[in-house]
Amino acid sequence: MYRLFAKIKEMKKAGVRGDGNFRVYTFSLKVRIKGIIPKDPKPPTHIKGKTLWITREYPHPFEPKPGDELVLSPDELHNILPDASGDIYREGFKEIVLKNEWMSVTIYPHLGARLGSLVYKGRDYFARVLEYCKKGWAITGGIFDLIDDDFPGTLWNGEFKEQKTSVRHCTLRYDKKGLEIVKNFSLHRALPLLTEITRITVKRKKDIVYSKCMPVNIKNPKTTLFVPTEEKLEHRIYQKTLTFNPWHPFDFYGLKLGSFLVGDNKGGLLYAAAPEKTKFLRARYSLASYKIYPVAGRKELKKGESFTHGCIYAVGDEYRVTNESITLRANIPHKSIFLVRGTAKFDGRGQWNDADIQLKPLEIEEVGKLWVCLNQ
């Protein structure tokens, strides 16, 4: 994956949103590519000096000006660089693609075994963003693990080795810096459901502060984050909250289900982990994504000890969220699939549009129980 930097040659203001307290301007920028970030793979020779138009949003008072330099994202480069899909070597690095009837997911072994994309009915739920870190520009698109307090941490560009891969499963391994990490990804055969199991073993005493960085795409101003907690159903509407302070984090404690859902009027993404391994949830708003950090907390591991974390990602076309459950409904012709994450008291009986549905339990390693129903 390339990280190219460019200089702004021309710019046009294309729009504005927000209010008097906070405004975001949209600019069309004509940029000229100057070169590539050191240590990245060498790009095609025709790239340097090429100009292109891109569109970006900037909050006031951080508007750009001609002559400023910036780093181009992969999405901004797709028109001038060859794109590809499947298990191929894109720009010198292999990307693993897992597929079932419902979903397609892409995994980047060379970038911390991150989950780069999750596509359902043509929609990619994971955002590609660029973060500026004190160690330089780091591509942080997709979901990756954090095991220490220093962002972007040890693993954001750690190289994992492929151990075993099939159409719906893959196993990757990392063995450096006193750590052995094994990640297993598995797509369910008949459900829009991906399971990820991560096992971390330390070769010397080490404190692990495990969390995930999850940039979730926001293209609809009605996108909402739902987090059932012990006290209430938390939800924040992106457009309204952005008006006040887009960088202020929201912390959610007492997660009743160890889960949350990001949804709009076209579908929803459910994340679920074992409640006892989800200490709290931190959410930030950016201009085009939610940045969500499920935090498992600090683990003091002695030499040879391990820590295992499991989670699932599920998608659907419709959803309902209460303090007691999160329900996803995925639709294909002549069939609907219901996926429910409920409290310990949930008994598998539910309703949808005044019709009764009966769900069956599905136990998932390191995650716990989901409830499933296939209606013909």
Query: Which residue would you say has higher pLDDT here, 2 or 82?
Result: 2
242 has a pLDDT exceeding 70 = no
Say yes or no: 240 and 252 in one domain.
yes
pLDDT tens by residue, 126-156: 987 766 565 555 666 789 898 887 777 778 7
pLDDT of residue 247: 58
In angstroms, rounded to a whole number, what is the distance separating the alpha carbons of residues 73 and 80?
12
Say yes or no: 358 and 279 in one domain.
no
In angstroms, rounded to a whole number, what is the distance separating the alpha carbons of residues 164 and 161?
9
Say yes or no: 214 and 227 in one domain.
yes
**82 domain-assigned:** no
pLDDT tens by residue, 275-295: 988 999 998 877 677 889 999
Say yes or no: 279 and 329 in one domain.
no
* Domain span including residue 37: 4-77
- Mean of pLDDT values over 305-310: 94
10 has a pLDDT exceeding 50 = yes
What does the angle CA 155 – CA 194 – CA 358 come to, to the nearest 5 degrees?
145
Say yes or no: 274 and 337 in one domain.
no
Amino acid, single-letter form, for residue 3: R
Average pLDDT, the chain: 84
78 has a pLDDT exceeding 50 = yes
pLDDT of residue 132: 59
Contact 181, 173 (CB under 8 A): yes
Of the candidates 150, 157, 154, the one whose C-alpha atom is nearest the C-alpha of residue 116 is: 157
Amino acid, single-letter form, for residue 98: L
Say yes or no: 202 and 141 in one domain.
yes
How crowded is residue 332: how many other Cβ atoms within 10 Å of its Cβ? Answer: 12
Of the candidates 151, 110, 104, 155, the one whose C-alpha atom is nearest the C-alpha of residue 131 is: 151
Of the candidates 128, 146, 115, 97, the one whose C-alpha atom is nearest the C-alpha of residue 3 is: 128
Say yes or no: 327 and 355 in one domain.
yes
Contact 159, 144 (CB under 8 A): no
Q: How far is CA 179 from CA 29, 147, 299, in A?
A: 43, 11, 14
* Confidence band, pLDDT 50/70/90 cuts, at residue 246: low
pLDDT tens by residue, 145-201: 988 877 777 787 788 999 888 899 999 999 988 899 999 999 999 899 999 999 999
**299 domain-assigned:** yes
Please give the DSSP secondary-structure letter assigned to residue 42: P
pLDDT of residue 73: 74
Say yes or no: 54 and 194 in one domain.
no
In angstroms, rounded to a whole number, what is the distance separating the alpha carbons of residues 191 and 271?
15
pLDDT of residue 107: 92
Say yes or no: 164 and 211 in one domain.
yes
- Mean of pLDDT values over 326-343: 90
pLDDT of residue 21: 72
pLDDT tens by residue, 348-366: 988 888 888 899 999 999 9
Residues ≥6 apart with Cβ < 8 Å to 110: 93, 94, 157, 159, 160
Residues β-bridged to residue 232: none
pLDDT of residue 294: 94
Say yes or no: 119 and 266 in one domain.
yes
0.85 cut: is pTM over it? no
Say yes or no: 265 and 367 in one domain.
no
Contact 132, 85 (CB under 8 A): no
- Mean of pLDDT values over 69-74: 80
pLDDT of residue 81: 58
Number of domain units in the chain = 3
